[in-house]
Amino acid sequence: MFVKTYHFLLLTSHLIKMATTALFFVFAGLAIACALSTVYHRNPLYSAVSLIGVFISLSCIYVTLAAPFIAAVQILIYAGAIMVLVIFVIMLLNLDEDKPYRKLNYLYALGGFLGIVLLAQTFFIFVAVKKAPQTPVNTDETVGKTLNIGANMYTEYLLPVEIVGVLLLMAIIGGVILVRRLSQPELTLIVNNELDRRNEGDEKDDYRIAL
Amino acid sequence: MEQIVKTAFPFIVFAVAILLAFQGVLMIVAYTVLAERKVLGWIQGRIGPNRVGPWGVLQPFADLLKFIFKEDLVPDKSTKFIYFLAPLVALTCALLPIVVYPFGPVINTIDWSFLPYGLGEGITQLPMTIARIDVGVLFVLGITSVGVYGIALAGWSSNNKYSLMGGLRSSAQMISYELAMGASVIGVVMLAGTLDLSGIIQAQITSPFKWYIIPQFIGFIVFLIAAFAETNRVPFDLPEAETELVAGFHTEYSALKFALFFMAEYVNMFTVSVMCVTLFLGGWYVPGLGKILTPGSIPYALVSHVAFIGKICAFLFLYIWIRGTLPRFRFDQLMNFGWKFLLPLALLNVILTIVIVYFLNS
């Protein structure tokens, strides 16, 4: 509950670096655990809920990287809107649990091999980054603030923003076209008063209501 | 020893602040339940609960004891993990935005040298907010978006078609009205120039209109209506109407888990009331109080804080009043209203604000 400068007076930079590293490992570990849980579960709803956990952990990592706007928008859009859509689909379609499919066992071997290739590439990148010359880190904290993001979005990066807008418009129009009905089915309800009908020609006294 | 105290001190301060804030909010929420029953009773021509204490003042504690001692049923074929997770998600996401609320102004006049080990050096201010986040408004909107999961997952995991329909309808309603709520906030953020809640109050203090309800009247109405829909309150409470869906998404929840949903609904009411007050009614700012008491002193902060709580209570009374007065929307009327009327109105408000701000600034 005190002004931020207070923390920087007392805590040394070493302590801050330790705390940041510890927090990163906590959130990264949580993200990896949730990601593993996403691919492990057979029940699609458990996978969806684990994916929400991944997004929230990523949002926490963005906060430690001094990007509060991106963190808030990640929660608002990814965890709050996109995953709600996915969960709606799972609930409405009432998807069954995954069952193991015996005929495609060779895919396990192929997947394992590709996984090892990916792991080797990851180690290569890790070693390359370690050996590269260290450039000083940009400690300017104000880059992640909303004001700077907004100012850059509408001056320097205006064209990508407009392109993304057109892309979203395309998606909306595509969605509307896919679900529209070209012609409404016509139904007519005939309410007849059989009891009052004396002759054959009195059928014109029936009511027809178009639905 | 000194080093331990010095490194632990910020955490102790935050812990004390969070405890105080949560205690205050939970007390307000508990008495909102009692207030609802009494005020609804008076509207309907009867007295509410008055047996437990004088005027029924101890009723919330009696309710809490009742919820603890009730039998806890778990449906047999429910998805157990999600069944237990849903009320926790609902309550956590309802309580989390408390950390960004501006409960009062900054206090400047306390001398901090009484703290041992020289902890008091360099501190001049005591802000009455737990955390001043740069993106406060987005934080609150995002957390209420995640709160939708509590309801959707509760409806699904109960393995009951009434719960499922109630949960889906409620989630669809909440995500539809979130858009109108967010769009109505854009006007305020444009006038204030910041997403920080304390910054918005500061902007209201320095603006010619003291409270943003005056220039943003359309935004205020849209936010209020969207807030009623977000919290599943009358006239938008079809998902929990007894005649429609038994009890909606919380049909299969008994005892303490139901109490958690119940509390989550009232804390949500508190959250949107605080947002309404902060964005449109100037939060703790009372115009003209700065001339009577000195800003930055403890009496000014106390009176401002009491004014803040008073404004919130006025909104909670409005919630209860409308519950006793209006019938409820049918679900298709509700969705039509949200998408075809409220969202275009909110966007119209944004366009008007853009035009006016542009011409005022140029």
Work out the pLDDT band at B360, boundaries 50, 70, 90. Answer: confident
| CA–CA min distance B316, chain A (Å) | 26
**CATH code, domain carrying A49:** 1.20.120.1200
Cis peptide before B235 (omega within 30 of 0): yes
- On the question of pLDDT at B114 being above 80, the answer is no
Which residues make beta-bridge pairs with A208? A190
C-alpha B260: how far from chain center: 16
| CA–CA min distance B315, chain A (Å) | 26
Q: Is residue A76 a part of any domain in this protein?
A: yes
Q: Which of residues 105-144 of B touch A (CB under 8 A)?
A: 121-127, 129-130, 133-135, 138-139, 141-143
Give the total number of structural domains in chain A: 1
Q: Is residue A123 a part of any domain in this protein?
A: yes
Mean pLDDT across A168-178: 91
pLDDT per position as a tens digit, B276-301:
999 999 889 988 888 888 888 888 99
Look at the pTM and tell me if it is higher than 0.90.
no
Contact B100, B139 (CB under 8 A): yes
Q: Is residue B40 a part of any domain in this protein?
A: no
Nearest to B138 among A49, A52, A76 (CB): A76
Give the total number of structural domains in chain B: 1
CA distance linking residue B206 with residue B201, whole number of Å: 9
CA distance linking residue B191 with residue B201, whole number of Å: 11
- On the question of pLDDT at A72 being above 70, the answer is yes
The tokens 């139904």 sit on which residue?
A187
Contact B54, B111 (CB under 8 A): no
Work out the pLDDT band at A9, boundaries 50, 70, 90. Answer: very low
Contact B265, B231 (CB under 8 A): yes
According to the model, what pLDDT value does residue A74 have? 94
CA distance linking residue B211 with residue B283, whole number of Å: 9
ipTM of the complex: 0.86
Work out the pLDDT band at A211, boundaries 50, 70, 90. Answer: low
DSSP assignments along B44-102, one per residue: TTS----SSSGGGTTHHHHHHHHHHHS-----TTS-HHHHHHHHHHHHHHHHGGGGG--
pLDDT per position as a tens digit, B235-262:
888 777 655 656 677 777 777 888 898 8
**CA distance readout (Å), B44 to B33, B38, B39, B40, B124:** 17, 10, 8, 6, 52
Q: Is residue A173 a part of any domain in this protein?
A: no
Contact B27, B35 (CB under 8 A): no
- On the question of pLDDT at A7 being above 60, the answer is no
Nearest CA in chain A to B89: A49
Mutate to test the interface with A, among B145, B157, B159, B174 (most CBs of A within 10 A): B145
- Determine the structural domain holding residue A19 and report its residue range: 11-144
Q: Is residue B110 a part of any domain in this protein?
A: yes
The amino acid that residue B176 corresponds to is: S
Nearest to A45 among B129, B146, B156 (CB): B156
Which tokens go with A34?
């949730």
CA distance linking residue B322 with residue B319, whole number of Å: 5
CB contact under 8 A, B171 and A15: no
pLDDT per position as a tens digit, A80-93:
999 999 998 888 88
Q: Is residue B23 a part of any domain in this protein?
A: no
Contacts of B199 (CB under 8 A, 6+ apart): B192, B193
Q: Is residue A187 a part of any domain in this protein?
A: no
pLDDT per position as a tens digit, A37-61:
999 988 888 999 999 999 999 999 9
Q: Is residue A109 a part of any domain in this protein?
A: yes
- On the question of pLDDT at A197 being above 70, the answer is no
Q: Is residue B33 a part of any domain in this protein?
A: no
| CA–CA min distance B167, chain A (Å) | 10
Percent of chain B with pLDDT over 70: 97
Residue A35 CB-half CA count within 13 A: 10
The mean of the pLDDT values for chain B is 88
Nearest to B82 among A45, A56, A76 (CB): A45
Q: Is residue B178 a part of any domain in this protein?
A: yes
Which tokens go with B233?
């309150």
The amino acid that residue B87 corresponds to is: P
Q: Is residue B30 a part of any domain in this protein?
A: no
According to the model, what pLDDT value does residue A5 have? 45
Work out the pLDDT band at B92, boundaries 50, 70, 90. Answer: very high
Which residues make beta-bridge pairs with B126? B107
What is chain B's alpha carbon radius of gyration, rounded to the nearest angstrom? 22
- How many CB atoms lie under 10 A from the CB of residue B281? 22
Q: Is residue B41 a part of any domain in this protein?
A: no
- Determine the structural domain holding residue B224 and report its residue range: 68-361
What count of residues does chain A have?
Answer: 211
- Which spans in chain A are helix H? 4-10, 13-40, 44-64, 68-73, 83-93, 106-131, 146-155, 158-179
**A contact set with B (CB within 8 A):** 1-3, 5-7, 9-11, 15, 43, 45-46, 49, 52, 56, 68-69, 71-73, 75-76, 79-81, 83-84, 87-88, 91-92, 145-147
Q: Is residue A82 a part of any domain in this protein?
A: yes
pLDDT per position as a tens digit, B52-74:
888 888 888 898 888 888 888 88
